Amino acid sequence: MPDLLLELRSEEIPARMQRKAAGDLKKLVTDALVEAGLSYEGAREYWTPRRLTLDIRGLTARSADVREERKGPRTDANEKAIEGFLRGAGLFSISEAQVQSDPKKGDFYVAIISKPGRAAEEIVAAVMPDIIRNFPWAKSMRWGKASVKPGSLRWVRPLQSIVCTFGTEHEETVVIPFEIDGIVASNVTYGHRFHAPEAITVKRFEDYASSLEKAYVVLDAERRKDIILHDARDVAFANGLELVEDEGLLEEVSGLVEWPQVLMGSFEEDYLSIPSEIIRLTIKTNQKCFVTRPQGSHLPLEGGGRSEAAGGGDLTSQQNHPTPALRADPPPQGEGALSNRFILVANIQATDGGKEIIHGNGKVVRARLSDALHFWKRDQGDLPDLETLETSAKKFGLDLKKPLDQRMAKLDALNVTFHAKLGSQGERVARIRALAADLAKITGADAALVDRAVVLAKADLRTEAVGEFPELQGVMGRKYASLQGENASVATAIEDHYKPQGPSDRVPEDKVAITVALADKLDTLVGFWAIDEKPTGSKDPYALRRAALGVVRILLERGVRLPLLATTRDADLLAFFHDRLKVYLRDLGARHDLIDAVLTPETDDLLMIARRVEALTAFITSEDGKNLLAGTKRATQLLAAEEKKGTVVADSVSEALLKLDAEKDLFAAVKAASAEASDAIAKEDFRSAMAALSKLRAPVDRFFEDVLVNDEDAAIRANRLALLRMIREATGTVADFSKIAG
């Protein structure tokens, strides 16, 4: 079976767009081919900065002939019905249709539609122009003289050539020469822009990939990443250093080069006085370079405190900076120290061994670090207009002798907007402050430390370091707080109140940090619910789902009992928390039916829900659990059926109407099990409560063997149904067993 090779070569595609674009190309082409009646054995996409490539193996050479019978109206139908049938079937005259008879429905028309198969080459040539013209780039451009014409080709960067070859492994391939805006598909491509600018004629994927390799192009992006990573590790090790690895940067850099060449540059050691996070981000953001550290040191990965814009927080920074990529943060283990060497990746194999490239990158790195050092020092100094900040300082109990306090006062004095409908940052801090004071009583955190942490939590938004690198919100606040002698819990809370930023991010541990983190996220959620800015579908511009998941994780992983309904006063928001809780518990392996069995609309203690689910999960697979489930389902299902029919159920069980031993024994067993279960639930010992209720299995079985519930005597029937209701109410204190599968 033949294979198809497709390459779309252009000017440099932005690195962040390449992986998705290659995936889109694969899906669009394969979907179009399958829809046209072709099949294939496998397809793989590739990408470099200058090309998107698709390798489709085992493509059928021709689509199958299709014969379709389309049933039409009766032969005596009106003229309009017949005309509609002819249009739909593609017939010119009713004489082209056949007449078939049905013993019940009479004679009716049938159109026999035959569609001959088409050659794969014809199909490819037909579908590709539309795919290219309508390619889903996030941003695209027009170029050249043709760009002034309506409907001219748009592409992410100017499209330069197209390769499209087709053929079997052992036969000569052919070119499928479709055309789009003057670019005709051929079998000619080009290698590295500088090292191999000559034309390359290709046949099929194997010689295409090997020819590009000889022309200084590594086609496979994963292989380019592997080359960069291992060469960078080796270069660092050879210089007595370790590479500070960064998966996001590695992905980006692999999209900037076709022939990766790893080099090492350096900067003056004086710049190492700058916090490592600033050095790392300065070098990464401005020069796309990796930093190194002495062997054996421990430096946390990217970004202790994430931008609120990236995770449901500060909107001021979100307005002015692109959202940074999110990733998990490791536990803080002490920063260690960076070295003054950095790793850069060039796209050319320089004749001088890369000296000029290293020199040029070093100049830029030094200039940027000089700026960063300036930010770092300025943030530790006094603001020039302290007299204008006294009102704000008094409002928040700030000490204007301290730099971070000054920045918070400035944030309030400037009336910086958090959200048009939710007021300023200063007003927001005031709300969080009041909420945190109440939460401290629940978490057991020191109220004074909580208050101090809250009033300083957003202060670093006015620092120059965070202005340059919004990703460092919280991290810089912690550093500046430590420099001015704040309590360690306060400094930690300033960084950790943004956490967790996602399912794999760490959760605050210090009670002060836990309290401030909860207050911050709850204020955000309550505020946006109040102005009806809730997530819709896949849209969640303020990351409210992430904020709610953060609350869920803090409550569950740190064992905090918080009545959410009393705190938020919003049943709809509580339902939103329930949804996030379900997602979280399912990710941990909990069965959805067990979650539904313990979750009621008014339950607002998420920790209690989680503990019930945990106990139920462990219990329901045990022998006692199976007994409890089997013994109560029959009773509750029969009761529900009778209630649906409107059968009278007594208000309570009358012992005088219990005639048979089996129903007397069941009544006694339910009373005893209910009392035992209630005592266990009061102690939050849910497993013991379930174990107590599981003892009902035997008396329930005897009851159904010996007792007819729907007795002819209405009073006895109502009394026996009341006995079944006792079972439902007793088990309902633990879970709604009717929702459990099995």
Q: Are strands 179-180 and 174-175 parallel, antiparallel or unpaired?
A: unpaired
Residue 600 covered by a domain: no
Residue 699 burial class via C-beta count within 10 angstroms: exposed 0-12, middle 13-18, buried 19 and up? buried
pLDDT at 334: 36
Helix/strand/coil percent split, the chain, to 5: 55, 15, 35
Percent of the chain with pLDDT over 70: 94
Question: What share of the chain in percent tops pLDDT 90?
Answer: 72
Assess whether pLDDT exceeds 60 at residue 302.
Answer: no
b/e map 206-240, b = 16+ CB within 10 Å:
eebbebbeebbbbbbbeebbebbbebbbebbeeee
Place 336 in a pLDDT band, splitting at 50, 70 and 90.
Answer: low
Tell me, yes or no, whether 561 lies in a domain.
no
pLDDT value of residue 742? 65
Least confident of 46-60, 63-77, 477-491, 711-725: 63-77
Whether 326 has a pLDDT exceeding 50, the answer reads no
Query: What residue type is assigned to position 707 of the chain?
Result: V
Coil, helix or strand at residue 142: coil
Judged against a pLDDT cut of 80, whether residue 301 lies above it is answered with no
Same domain (yes/no): 673, 717: yes
Q: Is 545 among the domain residues?
A: no
CATH number of the domain enclosing 482: 1.10.3210
Distance CA 370, CA 199 (A): 45
Q: Which of 470, 499, 533 is the last residue in one of the domains? A: 533
In the block, residue with structure tokens 């409890």: 628
Any bridge partners for residue 100, and if so which? 108
Domain-terminating residue out of 200, 215, 230: 215
- Residues 289 and 432 reside in one and the same domain: no
pLDDT for 316: 44
204 with 243, same domain: the answer is no
Query: Residue 737 in contact with residue 636, Cβ under 8 Å?
Result: yes
The residue-averaged pLDDT of 152-170 equals 94
Distance CA 603, CA 596 (A): 12
Question: Is 404 in the same domain as 472?
Answer: yes
pLDDT tens profile 668-679: 999 999 999 999
Inside any domain, residue 582: no
pLDDT digits (tens, 9 = 90+) for 641-688: 889 999 999 999 999 999 999 999 999 999 999 999 999 999 989 889
Angle in degrees, 0-180, between the axes of helices 276-287 and 355-379, rounded to the nearest 10: 130
Query: Which one has a higher pLDDT value, 628 or 430?
Result: 430
Q: Are residues 631 and 668 in the same domain?
A: yes
Domain identity same for 634 and 723: yes
What's the pLDDT score for residue 394? Answer: 97
Let me know if residue 592 belongs to a domain: no
Query: What does the pLDDT look like over 208-255, one tens digit per residue?
Result: 999 999 999 999 999 999 999 999 999 999 999 999 999 999 999 999
Same domain, 197 and 51: yes
Residues 350 and 484 in one domain: no
pLDDT at 594 over 60: yes
Q: Considering only 198-207, 482-491, 536-545, 633-642, which range has the smallest mean pLDDT?
A: 633-642
Tokens 């279960």 sit on residue = 677
Structural domain contains residue 546: no
Predicted confidence (pLDDT) at residue 90 exceeds the cutoff of 50: yes
User: Which pLDDT score, from 0 to 100, does residue 424 have?
Assistant: 96
Q: Evaluate whether residue 406 is within a structural domain.
A: yes
Where in the sequence is the domain holding 97, given as residue range(s)? 71-115
Q: How far apart are the first and last CA of the chain?
A: 49
- pLDDT of 306 reads 40
pTM here is 0.77
| CA dihedral of residues 71, 73, 75, 78 (deg, nearest 10) | -160
> pLDDT (tens digit, 9 = 90+) per residue, 448-490?
999 999 999 999 999 999 999 999 999 999 999 999 999 999 9
Helices (H), 588-685: 592-598, 606-620, 623-645, 661-682
Per-residue confidence (pLDDT) for residue 327, from 0 to 100: 29
Cα distance between residue 275 and residue 282, in whole Å? 11
CA 631 to the chain's CA centroid: 42
Within 13 Å, how many C-alpha atoms sit on residue 511's CB side? 13
Q: Tell me the sheet residues that pair with 3.
A: 167
Lowest mean pLDDT among 108-112, 186-190, 276-280, 329-333: 329-333
Is the domain of 492 the same as that of 417? yes
Task: Give the CB-side neighbour count of residue 609, counting CA atoms within 13 A.
Answer: 30
Q: Are residues 147 and 291 in the same domain?
A: no
Q: Are residues 418 and 430 in the same domain?
A: yes
684 in Cβ contact with 608 (< 8 Å): yes
The answer to whether position 496 is within a domain reads yes
416 in the same domain as 524: yes
CATH code: domain of residue 710: 1.10.730.10
Is residue 104 predicted with pLDDT exceeding 90?
Answer: no
Give CB contacts under 8 A, 24+ apart, made by 625-629. Answer: 625/690, 625/694, 627/694, 627/697, 628/690, 628/693, 628/694, 628/696, 628/697, 628/731, 628/737, 629/737, 629/740, 629/742
pLDDT digits (tens, 9 = 90+) for 516-536: 999 999 999 999 999 999 998
At a CB cut-off of 8 Å and minimum separation 6, what does 137 contact?
17, 21, 154, 155, 156
Which of 328-337, 462-471, 599-608 is the least confident region?
A: 328-337
Cis peptide bond prior to 49, omega within 30° of 0: no
Total domain count, the chain: 5
Q: Which of 185, 215, 245 is a domain's end point?
A: 215
| Contact in structure between 355 and 379 (CB atoms under 8 Å) | no
Least confident of 139-153, 317-331, 508-522, 689-703: 317-331
543 pLDDT higher than 90: yes
Query: Which pLDDT band holds residue 87 (cuts at 50, 70, 90)?
Result: confident
